Homo-oligomer: A and B are copies of this chain.
């Protein structure tokens, strides 16, 4: 399948007319064919107009039709086969097994949401039957369902070119909710984006859905992204990327005449707490597992373990010795883009030159596009005094904060901004201490995990990939897992509406067999 450098606007493929860019081979820094001329504001207008026109039809498509559409996208993605994997590897520098795994994850995600659509709980049906004889006043017939919020703008992420990009979690959950989607492609993997976009475009067509259900726009700069968030027809935004990028979109969204929600997953350093019992029992083993998690995918995960908190002692020494030994031999890895590589190197250099920070190890040198793993150490007092030490370094670098006592660990956690995850390594004798920290952890993070690391985010019903600001713009939600659909729904109530005018999901005989809450009591579908 050929990459043509075309925007996908509804059913059309149109070459843009604005400034041109190309993908860059992550491993070599060389540009890749073809040119991608950027979309014009006219292209954007057309994509948004089509999305708006598609909205009422698409959101009311039967659950089976919407589920089938998500499954058709999944099948079309698999059909692209090696062309997709090859292009994606070239653009991102990620190795084949990772891309294969991510493709499987993306397909699984689409199928998960197909299941969510069929099951129907997300519609949130509630019926309070009329009570005509109630005193002092009768009660009207009230029925509630949730409907899609409207067309959604999705910004692809650089570090998940499939699972959090054109057909990734934001798109899948928005489509599942009934929202048309306009994707602004990430410029780091435009060829991958186009191939995936065409897979969605074909599914829209084969499923007989309105063409505006999906569009994909390219842009060498930021003007299309900004205009997309400002467009009056766009009703919500999904974004995964930097804090600067996310907060810029939040500002645009808040300043619109009609503000809209932005679901931005932004930055996190994911504290790892090593408890004394665990360190004493298996400090070295934890150190090796940590090094493996830190260097996975060149450390380019939002859930990368960037901060280690522990009390000094033989256990921490064993952890550091094992981690250091492993990282010293961990080969440098190609990073996603030259810009990410540069930012990573600068962040590492800044930390290495910081007066309060000691360098424990750096991994072997690599090529000009590869990032080296790095581990640093500091003291709790310094970490508390110097806010720059909790800035995310996107890549395989972490900071060990030596905490003289348990109170210092608590103080560091209190001082932390909101995070996606906290990892706790514990032994049975640590339970009592951990118990006292759990309330604080619940306030600071979206996911608490024991004896593991945050990398490897399971796509599941009980997953939260979210967290208090600035981990995300909106800690009331998740961007991974089936609960992500909730971001794109809003409730509408129908009072005394005749049965024949009600949407099928609210009709008394429940023709679609949805789970419902009748007079407050949950019944199964």
Q: List A residues at the B interface (Cβ < 8 Å).
A: 55-56, 60, 101, 115-116, 119, 121, 126-128, 136-137, 139-140, 142-144, 147, 149-150, 250, 254, 258-259, 261, 417-418, 431, 434-435, 438-440, 442-443, 445-452, 456, 458, 460-464, 466, 468-470, 473-478, 482-483, 489-498, 500-501, 515, 517, 519-520, 522, 524
- Report copies per complex: 2
Name the distance in Å between A270's Cβ and chain B's nearest Cβ. 13
**Complex Cα gap A497–B421 (Å):** 13
A387 CB to nearest chain B CB (Å): 11
Q: Cβ of A126: which chain B residues have Cβ within 8 Å of it?
A: 461-462, 483
Quick check: A517 and B60 within 8 Å, CB to CB?
A: no
Closest residue of chain B to A57 (Cβ to Cβ) is B439
Residue picked from A418, A446, A475, most chain B C-beta under 10 Å = A475
Q: In chain B, what residue has the closest Cβ to A469?
A: B258
Listed A/B pairs (11) with beta-carbon separation below 8 Å: A121-B517, A127-B462, A140-B458, A142-B463, A144-B464, A258-B418, A450-B497, A450-B501, A461-B520, A462-B517, A466-B490
Complex formed: what's the CA distance from A452 to B520 in Å?
24
Given contacts A258-B417, A261-B476, A466-B491, 13 further A-B contacts (CB under 8 A): A121-B522, A140-B449, A142-B461, A143-B462, A261-B474, A431-B500, A446-B492, A448-B495, A450-B495, A451-B496, A461-B519, A463-B493, A464-B492
A240 to chain B, nearest CB (A): 18
Chain B residues positioned under 8 Å from A496 (CB to CB) = 449-452
Q: Please name all residues of chain B whose beta carbon is closer than 8 Å to the beta carbon of A139 when the two chains form the complex.
A: 458, 460
Contact A495 B142 (CB under 8 A): no
Residues of B within 8 A of A55 (CB): 443
Q: Indicate if the CB atoms of B258 and A468 lie closer than 8 Å.
A: yes
